Amino acid sequence: MIFILLFSILLVDQLSKYTFNRVLYLNQSLPVIKGIFHLTLVHNRGAAFGVLKDKVPLFIITSLIAAVLIWLALSKCNKTPQDKICRVALILILAGGIGNLIDRIALGYVVDFLDFRIWPVFNLADSAITIGAILLGYVILKSSGGN
């Protein structure tokens, strides 16, 4: 299951980025729901929200280290039913990180295209990372006795 979920997320992420990088011009925006949701092509040369612009080697190194640490952490999530959520969370984070890492290595930037107008433009890999982080936070709070 780990590999199926990981590769499925990677495939959808990379296909969507490839498609929008070919269909839209840089900074072109197509309204899907005018004023609420647009498809806008952005080449993000930084981290989240464009911080640390043009530090590609730093992002590649930290992404590789994070991927190895997440892979190692996956082996520790296998004892309880709650660990299934932990595994899914880590796979989402890993797949999203690898998806953006592929962009940085191949292109020197990350392809973003989902634009809700009230938030910086992002992609499916970013969504996977965010959902994974929320799930992981839930697991951590639950295991520490939080409600």
**Which tens digit of pLDDT belongs to each residue from 78-125?**
766 678 899 999 999 999 999 999 999 999 999 999 999 999 999 999
Single out the catalytic residue among 13, 103, 115, 126.
126
Residue 13 pLDDT > 90: yes
Single out the catalytic residue among 13, 103, 112, 115.
112
User: Is residue 83 helix, strand or coil?
Assistant: helix
Question: Model pTM?
Answer: 0.90
pLDDT at 107: 95
Structure tokens at 72: 């190692």
Residue 31 pLDDT > 60: yes
Determine phi and psi for 30, rounding to 5 degrees.
-110, 120
Q: Is 83 a catalytic residue?
A: no
Q: Is 13 a catalytic residue?
A: no
pLDDT at 49: 63
Does residue 136 come out as left (phi exceeding 0), alpha (psi in the -120 to 50 range) or beta?
alpha
Contact 129, 66 (CB under 8 A): no
Look over the chain and give the mean of its residue pLDDT values, rounded to a whole number. 91
pLDDT at 131: 97
